[in-house]
Structure formats: C-alpha cells, structure tokens
Amino acid sequence: MKKVFLSALVAGGMMVLLGACSSGDTGGGSEGMTLEIWDMQQSSKDVAAAYAPIVEAFEADNPGAEVNVTTFPFAQYRDKVLLAMKGGTGPDVLALDQVWMAEFAAGGLVAPLDDQLAESDSISGDDFFQGAWASNSYEDQTWGVPLNADVWEQMYYNADLFTEAGLDPENPPTTWDEWTEAAAALTKAPDQFGISLMGCKDEGTVVMSDSFLFSNGGSIVEDGSATFDSEENIGALSQYQDLLEYSPSGTAGACEQDAVARFTSGTAAMLLAGSWQQDTMKDAAQFDWRIAVPPAPEGKSFVGALGGWNLAINAKSENPDLAFAWIESMSQADNQAAVNSLIPALQAAGEEFIMANRSQPEVVLATLNNGAPRPLSPVYPAISQAQQDVMQAIIGGESPENAVVTAQGKIADALSALD
Amino acid sequence: MTQLAVRDREARPRRELDARQRRKISPYKRREALVRILCIAPPLLFLAALVAYPLAQTLYLSVMKSTLIQPDEVFVGFDNFANILTSASFWNVVSNSVVWTVVVVALQFVLGMSAAVILNRRFVGRGFLRAAVVIPWVMPGVIAAVLWNLLYEPYLGPIAQLLGFIGVPAENAAWLSNTSTALFAVIIVAVWKGFPLSAIMYTAAYQNVPEELREAARLDGAGTWQVFRNVVLPSMAPTIRSTIVLTTVWTFNYFDLVYVMTNGGPGDSTEIFPTAIYRLAFVDVNYGLSSAYGVISVLILGIFTVLYLRQLNKSGSLNR
C-alpha cells in the first residue's frame, strides 16, 4: 500500500512540474501584466545593464506591469525567435532585422501598428532615418518601429601601408579603377595583400556585395520581379572578382570577423566594413587606420546597403497596448542611445551618436545618407541564399555573366512562391 | 558492451520467473503489477511527449505545405518528397553525406582499433595517454570547430607553417575555402573528434578477450597477425558491430563541425543532411520541405542500419 501511495505521489509531483512549465506565459488581469521583450545582443556592450533603468522607469509609469528583457547573441537570435513564434510562446515585443519584417508580417507573426501609430503622440515617422522607417512597410501597412540603423559600409584603410607603398593616405582611391590599382600596389603576397574581402556564406557577404551592385546602378528585385540579370550587376561582380586577386586566399570562407582580423593584423591594407567595427579597430589595430567613402564606378557615387533592427509586436501578445507603450518609450532619443551599440534609428539621436562615438563622423554620415534598402520581400531568405550562391560561384572562378543568370532564375523561382 | 552481455545472461532466468508468475495471480501480485505500471507511467509519458510527438509532427508536416509566410497548412501528398528527389542539390547532399559518413566511420574504426591495441601494451605513460586520448571526444563540437579553423588558417595557422617548414608547396592553401578540399578538411576534424569513443570501446573489448584463447592460438602456431585476425577480432565482433552502427548514426547526423567550419560551403561542397535540413527549417523556414528532408534522412539511416546488421548476421564473418 505504501508503494502505491509513493508512486501516486511521484506521479502527482510530475503533473505539478509539467503544469508549472506551461503556465509561464499566461498574463493575468490588468494588474500584474507582464511584458516579455527580446533583443539581439549586438556586441560586447552590456545591453542588460543598459535596459535596467529604462525598465525601472517604465514599470513606475505603468504600475503593476512587469517587464522582462532577454537578449540573445546574434548567431542564435533568429533560431530562437522562429522556434518561439512557431510554438506560440514568443515575447510581446521583439527586435527584428529589417530584412525579416516582410517575412514576419506575411506570416501573420507580428501585428500591424498603423492604428496605434495614428494615435501616438510620441512616434513620428519623420523623426527616423528614412531608410530605417521604410523598412517597416509591407503591403501598405506598418509593422514595426526602427530601433537602430546602419549602412554597409565604409572602406577602412591602413595609412601606414599606403605610405609604404607610395600611395597618398590623404587621398584614398575614389573610383573602381583606382581602387584595383591601389590594391595591386599594396599587395606583396604572401605577406601583405591589398584588400581583405569577405565572401563566406552568410548575410554579411550579401549586404557587402549589394553595395557593389547598388553603386553600379544595379538592383535585385524591382516591383516584385527579379532584376538580377543586368549589365550593371555583371559589372559590379566583375569589380569584386578583380579585387579578389589582391585578397588573401580563403575568401570563400571569410566572414566579417575573419576579414576584419586580416585587416587589424596588418595582413591586408584595405577592408570593407560597417561603422560598428570602429570599436574593434580602437582595440585591435596597432596602426594609423582611417575610413573613407568606398570607391564607386567612374561618374557614379557610392551607394551602400542599409541594415538595422526594428521593434515589432507579437500578433499573439496579450497586452498589445502595453507593448506599444514600451515601443514608444524605446523611441525616445535617450533610451535609443542607451541600449544601442549600433546607430540609433532616430535621426537626431543617431547623428549625435555618430558625432560622439565615431572617428571621421562625416564619412559615416555620408554613407548613411546615401544608402539603399535591401529587397523588402517575404522571401528575402531565399533571395539572400541565391546571392550567397553567386558570391561563392564567382569566388570559385565562375564568370559573372553566368552567375547572374543562375541567380536570376533562383530569385524568380522564390518570388513565384508568392503568387 | 559488457553491460549488454550481462543483460543477455540475466534475461533467461527472468523469463522463466515470469512464466511461473503467470500461473496463479494473487491479489498481492495484481497490486504489485499496478504499482509497476504507475512507476513506469511517468517515463512513458515523457517518452511520448519527447519522442513520439515530434516524430508524428514531422511525419505530418512532411506531407503538408507549410512555411513561415504561408502558415495555413495544406495537404500536398508526396509533393515535398518529389520536389526534393528531383532537385540537383539533393543528390549533391546525398553524395556528400555518403562520403562524409563512410570515410569518417572507416578512419575512426582504424584509428580506434590502433589506439586500443597500442594502449593495451605496457609502456611508460600509458595511463596519461589513455586519459589524453579522450580529450577530443569531450570537447564541445563548436569549440573543436573554432580551434581547427585557426589551425587551418592559410597564413598564420600552424598547419600552413608546418607545411611551409617541411617544404611542402602548399602556397597558403585555404583548405576550407576550396571546393575540392573542404569536405576532407572537415572529415579530418570529425575523425579526430570522434575516434576516442571507438578507442574506448575497443580497449574495453580487447581486454575482455581471454588470454587463454590467445595463448592456445599461439601454441597452435598462429603468428601475431593471425592471432589478431582469427581470435581477437572475432571475440570483439559484437562491440565492433555496435560501435560502427553508433558512429555511423552520429556521424551522419553530426551538425556542429560543418555548420561552424564551412556552413555547407564553399558553394555546396560540404552540405550534408543535417546542415541542409537546418537551412530549410531555419533560414528558408519551409517546415514542410524540411520535415520531408528529415524523413528521408531517417529512412536512409534506418535502411542502412538494418541492411548492415542483416548482412553481418548472414555472412557471420564477424560472429562469435
């Protein structure tokens, strides 16, 4: 008898445990509302500490509300978000990459904010960097509010190596032809290379390659149709292929941090990277590093690709009004400046941030103001995949003429899934 | 493995006991049966929740059209499977996976067996070596991948410098960034990472071979190789068989190394089943297609395992 009782007790205990696991996401009444916030961990900055005073103030303004901010490293952020949203246990407010907005909106995972935005006194689209604000539109509705923004990219260069090679560090190359010549002059293989290019299979490579395409007047998707097979794109990819000759071997596997490491170690004299890498340079580069607006084709100007993160509300959130109040609070200049190590998306706060935190801020501002968005499409992951394949192919020696045809087919295929 | 053997030996008496019990069932026995059921209920529930449910869900999704942007699930029959089987990338994944699995398992067998034979000899430092050999196995996969990425670095990496030092004209080759070498570069790491398990299993099995058997063979005039081939190896057969099945399943499903070291690249030269499935599920977010891919992957592994075990049993070549 004793045994029966014992096992019943064990079974009962199990039930309690299982029950406890599933009760985590239930909210309760208007008193004691909880708000789950997910953000991406951008860098070594202690984001959790930066959020603490904001959470405190928000809880004071909204008595009875409890706010939990959780941050995840970028590498696992998308996986976490997708699993949680699919399982119906996602947070109330979440940071989404600009290129995920259309995808999440089309999937019905996040809620349109138009009604709340119309009534809001504190959020106005005009206050944000235009590209960042526009990245929230999908099918004539607005699905998020920008948190931060930046542009791929500036050209970092090693002034010491420029001088050594007989180049003028005050006048870095501005056209693509000058660029290739400078890269050649700076190359003393296998000890030194002209430029450290990235080319691994990830989104960073895509954004970087976009800046080549955009600067040459090329595009990827226009009005819902694939436009990858163009003379402009072929020219842009040829330029990348020309530079490849002066990049250390292993470009097909070089991601952002690898490319940066080759520059900071002095192995390569030039680098394409975003302004957030200035933090790394300050720590790691033991030479006179500078930045410049990257070169553009003769007679054209450099156009970078925009990136950044927006705040969106889970379509299943039980407290959408409180969630929107949080977004309003995060859209104040002080708060945006506090939690970001990327540039705050509010234009005034962003420019102040750049002036205070970046060396050669005028270069950063010039590239930011002349940036263009990546395709805002629900099938962006497939488009990005096609572009990654292009880069891998041309690094492997395929001709840009063939590569753009293949990519055109893949992108058109992906877009056809939307019909 | 010794555990398995012990369980076999115990199985028979227990079965006889059960038969005796069945003859008359007292109320006390019935109560005891109830207690037993209650005791195994929680683990059964857990198994149902953790194994049966995901399995059923995967099978269900594999015949559905279900993506992030089209969340309403639509029944499409075997369309997902047809899509996969007719795509060129699938057959590339199959061939990569076969090369990857076969080479890794074969090399792990050879290395593991050699380590077992060596570590059973008496020599100074044997204890240390036995412990050291386990290090790759206990190292987290991601850390091993990052470590080897550094070793393979074409300019500063020790491998490039060693090759340069001994005069091999490698010309700063980036092994991981070349479509013809990347898969083998990762295979080397997978062998290094996984062979300690084989080594431990084979060391234990080797020690279980009765010394008298070896001695008898030697008295009959068998040489070292003959003793190993005809006495030691057959005695180790059950261990070898299970170890090869285990390492095959693990290698086929091994995700970390490829994901961190090459992410399936360059091109798709290192794409194997787990990375392809991950890409479909978390990058493209196509639940239907990725589930179908998963089902195919399990089928391939299942068919292999069954055929392999049947073949071994039939040929009897490694039977006791």
CA distance A247 to chain B (A): 12
In whole numbers, what is the pLDDT of chain B averaged over residues? 87
CA distance A112 to chain B (A): 15
- State the residue for tokens 């062979």: B195
CA distance B88 to chain A (A): 13
Give residues with Cβ within 8 angstroms of A337, minimum separation 6. A344, A349, A352, A353
* In-domain check, residue A18: no
A176 and A262 co-located in one domain: yes
Domains within chain B, CATH numbers bracketed: 76-315 (1.10.3720.10)
Q: Residue A123's pLDDT is what?
A: 93
* In-domain check, residue A15: no
Contacts of B39 in chain A (CB under 8 A): 7, 10
CB contact under 8 A, A190 and B171: yes
Q: Give me the sign of the Cα torsion angle A48, A54, A59, A60.
A: positive
Query: Tell me: the pLDDT tens digits for B202-252?
Result: 999 999 998 898 889 989 988 889 998 888 998 898 899 889 999 999 999
CA distance A301 to chain B (A): 31
Q: Of A330, A351, A369, which residue is a domain's last?
A: A369
* In-domain check, residue A23: no
Closest chain A residue to the Cα of B146, Cα to Cα: A258
A298 and A312 co-located in one domain: no
Give the containing element (helix H, strand E) for B236: helix B233-252
Q: Residue B281's pLDDT is what?
A: 92
A256 and A334 co-located in one domain: no
Q: Residue A43's pLDDT is what?
A: 66
pLDDT in tens, chain A (419 residues): 444 444 444 444 444 333 333 333 333 344 678 999 999 986 667 888 899 999 999 999 999 899 999 999 888 899 999 999 888 889 999 999 999 999 999 999 999 999 999 999 999 999 999 989 999 999 999 999 999 999 999 999 999 999 999 999 999 999 999 999 999 999 998 889 999 999 999 999 999 999 999 999 999 999 999 999 999 999 999 999 999 999 999 999 999 999 999 999 999 999 999 999 998 999 999 999 999 999 999 999 999 999 999 999 999 999 999 999 999 999 999 999 999 888 999 999 999 999 999 999 999 999 998 899 999 999 999 999 999 999 999 999 999 999 999 999 999 999 998 87
**Closest to A415 measured CA to CA, from A382, A374, A368:** A382
CA distance B284 to chain A (A): 6
- Supply the CATH number for residue A335's domain: 3.40.190.10
A267 and A165 co-located in one domain: yes
Q: Tell me which residue in A79, A103, A249 faces B69 most closely, judged by beta carbons.
A: A103
**Closest to B69 measured CA to CA, from A133, A100, A206:** A100
Q: Residue B127's pLDDT is what?
A: 86
CB contact under 8 A, B69 and A379: yes
CB contact under 8 A, A251 and B177: yes
A186 and A284 co-located in one domain: yes
Contacts of A397 in chain B (CB under 8 A): none
β A34-41/A66-73 pair status: parallel
**What DSSP letter does each residue of B58-91 carry, written as one string?**
HHHHHTEE-BSS--S-EE-TTHHHHHHHT-HHHH
Contacts of A396 in chain B (CB under 8 A): 179, 266-267
Domain that holds residue A216: 154-303+379-416
Q: Residue A418's pLDDT is what?
A: 83
**Closest to A238 measured CA to CA, from A36, A349, A395, A127:** A395
ipTM of the complex: 0.83
Q: Cα–Cα distances in Å, from A104 out to A98, A298, A377, B1?
A: 10, 39, 10, 50
CB contact under 8 A, A396 and B68: no
pTM above 0.80, yes or no: yes
The count of structural domains within chain A is 2
A236 and A297 co-located in one domain: yes
A280 and A236 co-located in one domain: yes
* In-domain check, residue A6: no
CB contact under 8 A, B176 and A253: yes
Q: b/e for B288-298, b at 16 or more Cβ within 10 A?
A: bbbbbbbbbbb
Give yes or no for a contact between B222 and B87, defined as CB atoms under 8 angstroms apart: no
* In-domain check, residue A374: no
Burial class of residue A122, CB neighbours in 10 A (0-12, 13-18, 19+): exposed
Does the structure show a pLDDT above 70 at B8? Answer: no
CB contact under 8 A, A385 and B282: no
Closest chain A residue to the Cα of B67, Cα to Cα: A107
Residue from B181, B283, B286 whose CB has the most chain A CBs within 10 Å, to mutate: B283
Please give the Cα distance from B148 to B158 (Å, whole number).
10
Contacts of A14 in chain B (CB under 8 A): 42, 45
Q: Cα–Cα distances in Å, from B270 out to A177, A192, A387, B177, B186?
A: 35, 29, 18, 10, 8
* In-domain check, residue A241: yes
Residue from B181, B285, B289, B291 whose CB has the most chain A CBs within 10 Å, to mutate: B285
Give yes or no for a contact between A108 and A314, defined as CB atoms under 8 angstroms apart: no
**Rounded to the nearest 5°, which phi and psi values hold at A23?**
-95, 5
A247 and A346 co-located in one domain: no
A351 and A242 co-located in one domain: no
Give yes or no for a contact between B201 and B113, defined as CB atoms under 8 angstroms apart: no
Give the containing element (helix H, strand E) for B291: helix B287-315
CB contact under 8 A, A250 and B284: no
* In-domain check, residue A13: no
A136 and A239 co-located in one domain: no
Please give the Cα distance from B294 to B273 (Å, whole number).
8
A180 and A293 co-located in one domain: yes
Contacts of A256 in chain B (CB under 8 A): none
Which strand ranges, in their side-by-side order, compose the sheet holding A193-196?
A193-196, A268-273, A154-158, A289-292
* In-domain check, residue A131: yes
A276 and A359 co-located in one domain: no
For chains A and B, CB pairs below 8 A equal: 99
- What does the radius of gyration of chain A's CA atoms come to, in whole angstroms? 24
